[in-house]
Each structure stands twice: as structure tokens, then as C-alpha cells.
Amino acid sequence: MNSANTKTKITKKDLFKANWRWLWSSQICWNYERMMSTGYLYTMLPTLKKLYPDDDDLIEMMKTHNQFFNTNAYVGGFIVGMDMAIEEKEGTKAKDTVAGLKTGLMGPFAGVGDTIVGVILPTIFGSIGAYMGLKGNPIGAIIWLLVNFAVLFLRFTLLPLGYAQGEKLIYAAGDKLNRITDAAILLGVTVVGALIPTVVSAKVPLVFQSGKVTLKAQSVLNQIMPSLVPVLLVALCYWLLGKKKMNSTRLIVCVLIGGIILGGFGILSK
Amino acid sequence: MTIVWWQILLLTALAFWMIIDQITVGILCNYPLLIGFVAGIIMSDIKTGLVVGATLQLMVLGVGTYGGASMPDFMTGAIIGTAYAVMTGKGIDFAIGLAVPVGLLMVQLDVLARFINTFFLHRVDKHIAEGDTKNVARNIVYGVFPWGLSRAVPVFIMLIVGNNVVSKIVEWMPQWLSNGLNVAGGILPVVGIAILLRFLPTKKFIAYLIVGFIAAAYLKMPMLGVALLGLALAIMYYKQNDNSDNNKSQSQDDGGVENELGEYEN
């Protein structure tokens, strides 16, 4: 805990190195016990070696960074950046601060990152891509690939931003982030609404005959509402997911079997 | 059409890469559509790959791997489904019927990979105590292998031995089952949509769900158009709440960060 280590400066090159390591390693050794702890440690390792020439300090801080950590990898670089700024200034004295900061921020960051990068982006671009892909058109898939490259570029800016701005920015941006997340969700929900009638294909091919009058079930349904069957199926699945013992995997199995049975008996068709 | 050795190797490499991609750069990520696209290129039948991938994509739209939960591995499903659809010429429905069970079974191997990495974690702990930074780093990087091999090995095996087995299944498959699979392929996207609606605060934004539905079902607007409509609505929402939020934040302290998670659960 000598004071010499506090004079070591973190350079732009160090930031880039950490950024690069975070990109490749944050989840590389993900495990059930401490999740992203190893990835965090691997990212910090060059910085730690630079800041703590003393072996005991180094071991102490390596232990600190190999504790439970789990957040969204896309935005987690921001936390690493803040951590680097604090350790550069305070050294081993910041041990508890850093541990608290990591555990305090990983949840909110996971919330924002998982929602926007993990759900809303795949919803929007997955919907467009799948809609085109079902017709054999690769343009949607290619757009999505380009978007992913753009996201890759953007996430590289977060770690230096965290280093430069630190806590200040988090508090200032809290409100704004909420609104951006909400607006993104709104966009996602709109796209999902359009998804129901376009990608779910289910018709009722039954034909009823009484005397000379034939009644086609599907044309009756169409008069009530277009895509009524897909809407009802989505509502049914939504309701089922609210049941206690239902999860996504079970639901997929149920729908697969249900589809085979209904299709086999000719009650539903594509 | 049969599969040749370099296609098997490329598909195996794709299987290894896709999970590493997912936990690192996120280009192909855990998106069956993009995996199917690449698998289609390898099998020189892009259309089949896209359709298989797109169908699987719609089933997992809202499914993520958050907090360490495993999701159905329809990426592996997309590779196997595309390869067999091209090999057998049996079409998309057959591919989906094959890809879904494969994807569900593969979850077990995802769990296994995440479990095996605990072993490396404990070796890292040991080397930390010794202050051996080189071995600390090395053991973390070893985590690549449980991840990659958990996908690559099954794909390789299925492509090698699958040729005969699958052609037997194809011969055996009765007509009613292919009809049923056809229908199942058509309605499986409802699962992804329902999961998404459960995850998102749908009740709060139900009006926009209806707007999106009207645009597509009644006005026959293409998906990109709906996305632009949604974008316009999102911008309006953002600007409208700008003023009211400014007023609020003057009276309140900035506790915004803490509230974020709680708000989704409303």
C-alpha cells in the first residue's frame, strides 16, 4: 500500500487494451458459481499489474475482481472504465468502493443493456429480417448484420466514457436512459403488433355443408377480423405463459405437438 | 444432394464460432436467422437457410440468455435444419420438425459448458493465491473450449452419422405427420411473440401493439414501414416526456438508476 502506485497513470493504450479484453473475454469463462468474475479479472489484469507493483497488493486486488459479477456485456464496459478511474486515483484503498460500485451497478446496467441490446434490437431487426427471410430475401439479414457491426463500434466507446465521466454521468443520465428505454420498448411493441398477422400463418380449412349452402369457416372468420386465428393463438400462448409451471421450452413443445395434431386432423392449415 | 467433407468442416467451424461470437463480438450472435443465412451460404442454398433461420428466429424473438439462463439452442437447430433440408430435399417443414427437437436437446449441453467452466474458475483461484498472473490469464481463456466444443462436437457427429439415419426417417415419415409439421411450422412463431409480450411492459404500451397490428393486418404495410411508424411514435413519446421529466427531476433527487429495474415490472 505504498503511495508510489498512486502516481501511475492510465494511458489511452491501457484503456484500449481493457476495452479489447472486455470485448473478447467478459463471458469467455462464464460459469454458474461467479458468472462473469473471471472475465472481469481478465479485463483488469494488465491494469492491475501496472497499478500494483507490490505482489501482495496485486494478489489482494485479483481476489477482489474474481468475485461474483454479472451484467450485460455490451454496456458493462462502462463499469470497468469507472473502476479503472477510481483505482488509478486511490489504489488499494478503493478496494471496498470498487467492490460496492461493481455490485451496485451491475443490476441497473444489465436492465438497460438486456432490454435495449438483448431484446428490442433483435425484436425490430429480427422481425424485419425474418419477414423478408421467410420469402427467401436476404436483405433483412444483411441489414441486421450491419446493425450488429454498428453496435460493436458503439460499445467500444463505453469504457473510455466510463473512465472519463464516471459516476457523474450515471446520475445525470438516469432519467434520460429511462426515457430512451421506454421509447425503444414502444417501437418494439409496435413491430410485434405487426408481426402477428404477417409471420404467423394459420387458417381453418373446414367447410360446413347444410343442404345447398356451403360455409367456409375461414371466410367467416375473415369477416370478423383479418388474422383472427393468429391473434387468438398469441393470446392463448400469452395466457399459458402466465401459468406457474409453464416456461418457454415447455410452450414450444406444446405448440409443436398441438400443431402436428391439429394439422394432422385437418383442423388447421398453413 | 449429399454433403461433402468441406461443408461438414465449415458447418462445424460455424457451430464453434457462433457461440464464441455470441459471448464476444455479437455479430451473428444468438440469432438463428443469421446462422441459417451463413449455413445456407455454406450449403449453397441461401433461400433454404434463410427460411429455416427465419422460422426459428421468430420462435426465440423474446428469449434471451440473461442471468445465466439457457435458451433453446435454435442456432444449432438452424445449422442442422438447413443442412438436412438441402441434403434430403424434403423442404422447410421437415427441417423445422428436425431443428426444434435438436434445439431443445442442445440446452443440456449449454448447461454442461457453463458447468465445466466452474472447474477453470477454481484453477484461477489457486493461481491468484500464488500470484501467478500468467496462469490466471491462461485458465480464463481455456473457457473458450467448453463453450465452442459443446456446439461443434454435436453438429459434427450429427452431420457425419446423420446421412443414413435421416434418410431412413424420411422414408418412414407418414403423410399426416408431414402435414402436421407443416402446420406446426406456421404457428410456432406465436411462441416467440407471446414470450416477448410477457417480457415487455405490454399493458403499458398496448395501444402501440394495436397500431402495429392495424398497420400490417388492415393496411398491409410492409414490416420496414411499420418499424418507421414505430420510430416516429417513439420519437414523439421521447419528446413529450422530456418536459414533464424535467419538472419532476427538479423536485426529486436523481434516484433514476435505482428505479430502472422496478419500472419494468409494473
Q: What digits encode the pLDDT tens for the residues B15-32? A: 999 999 988 888 888 899
Angle of the B92-129 helix axis to the B46-59 helix axis, nearest 10 = 70
Beta carbon pairs, A and B, within 8 Å: 404
The answer to whether position A195 is within a domain reads yes
> Nearest Cβ partner of B210 from A136, A193, A259?
A193
Give the nearest chain B residue to A179 (CA atoms).
Answer: B238
pLDDT at position B108, please?
82
Chain A hits for B217, CB-CB cut-off 8 Å, are 196-197, 225-227
Query: Which of A155, A177, A199 marks a domain boundary?
Result: A199
A213 shares a domain with A195: no
- Whether residues A141 and B62 touch (CB distance < 8 A) is answered with no
Mutate to test the interface with A, among B47, B183, B261 (most CBs of A within 10 A): B183
- Whether residues A111 and B147 touch (CB distance < 8 A) is answered with no
Amino acid at A175: D
Angle of the B206-217 helix axis to the A167-199 helix axis, nearest 10 = 40
The answer to whether position A193 is within a domain reads yes
3-class DSSP assignment, residue A131: helix
Give the nearest chain A residue to B133 (CA atoms).
Answer: A45
Mutate to test the interface with B, among A19, A21, A31, A75 (most CBs of B within 10 A): A31
Residue B246 has pLDDT above 60, yes or no: no
Chain A hits for B61, CB-CB cut-off 8 Å, are 122-123, 126-127, 192, 195
All three cell numbers of B205, joined, read 404500451
All three cell numbers of A16, joined, read 484500449
Q: Which residues, listed in sequence order, are joined to residue A207 by a DSSP beta bridge?
A: A216
Query: Which of A199, A226, A243 marks a domain boundary?
Result: A199
pLDDT at position B253, please?
41
Query: Which of A169, A199, A229 marks a domain boundary?
Result: A199
A111 shares a domain with A193: yes
A231 shares a domain with A194: no
One DSSP character per residue, A84-106 reads HHHHHHHGGGGHHHHHHHHHHHH
A106 shares a domain with A13: yes
Rounded to an integer, the average pLDDT of B122-138 is 91
Would you give the distance in Å from CA B130 to the centre of its chain?
40
- What is the DSSP-derived secondary structure letter of residue A185? H
Range of the domain at A76: 1-199
pLDDT at position B254, please?
40
Chain A hits for B118, CB-CB cut-off 8 Å, are 31-33
Number of structural domains (chain A) is 2
- Chain A from 153 to 212: CB within 8 A of any B CB: 170-172, 174-175, 177-202
3-class DSSP assignment, residue A136: coil
- What is the DSSP-derived secondary structure letter of residue A33? T
In angstroms, the separation between the Cα of residue A199 and the nearest Cα of chain B is 7
Q: What is the pLDDT along chain A (270 residues), one digit of tens a residue?
A: 444 445 678 899 999 999 999 999 998 888 878 889 999 999 999 999 999 999 999 999 999 899 889 888 999 999 999 999 989 888 888 888 888 888 888 888 887 888 888 888 888 899 999 999 999 999 999 999 999 999 999 999 999 999 988 767 666 666 777 788 888 889 989 998 998 998 888 888 888 888 888 888 888 888 888 899 999 999 999 999 889 888 877 888 898 899 889 988 888 887
Q: Which residues, listed in sequence order, are joined to residue A210 by a DSSP beta bridge?
A: A213
Q: Is B255 left (phi over 0), alpha (psi -120 to 50) or beta?
A: alpha
A87 shares a domain with A65: yes
The answer to whether position A270 is within a domain reads no
Euclidean distance between CA atoms B219 and B111, whole angstroms: 45
Would you give the distance in Å from CA A108 to the centre of its chain?
13
pLDDT at position B262, please?
40
A51 shares a domain with A174: yes
- Whether residues B118 and A132 touch (CB distance < 8 A) is answered with no
What is the number of other CB atoms lying within 10 angstroms of the CB of residue A59? 18
Q: Which residues, listed in sequence order, are joined to residue A203 by a DSSP beta bridge?
A: A269
Chain A hits for B100, CB-CB cut-off 8 Å, are 252, 256
Residue B51 has pLDDT above 80, yes or no: yes
Where exactly are the structural domains of chain B?
Answer: 5-199, 201-246
Chain B contact present for A217, CB below 8 A: no
Arithmetic mean of pLDDT over chain B: 83
A122 shares a domain with A245: no
Residue B69 has pLDDT above 70, yes or no: no
A207-210 vs A213-216, strand pairing mode: antiparallel
Chain B hits for A268, CB-CB cut-off 8 Å, are 183, 186-187
Chain A contact present for B126, CB below 8 A: no
pLDDT-based confidence at residue B266 (cuts at 50, 70, 90): very low
Amino acid at A27: Q
* pLDDT tens string B195-222: 888 878 889 999 999 999 999 999 999 8
Q: Residue B85's closest CA among A139, B10, B77?
A: B77
> Nearest Cβ partner of A66 from B29, B124, B233?
B124
All three cell numbers of B52, joined, read 429455416
The answer to whether position A216 is within a domain reads yes
Residue B258 has pLDDT above 50, yes or no: no
- Whether residues B191 and A237 touch (CB distance < 8 A) is answered with yes
The answer to whether position A56 is within a domain reads yes
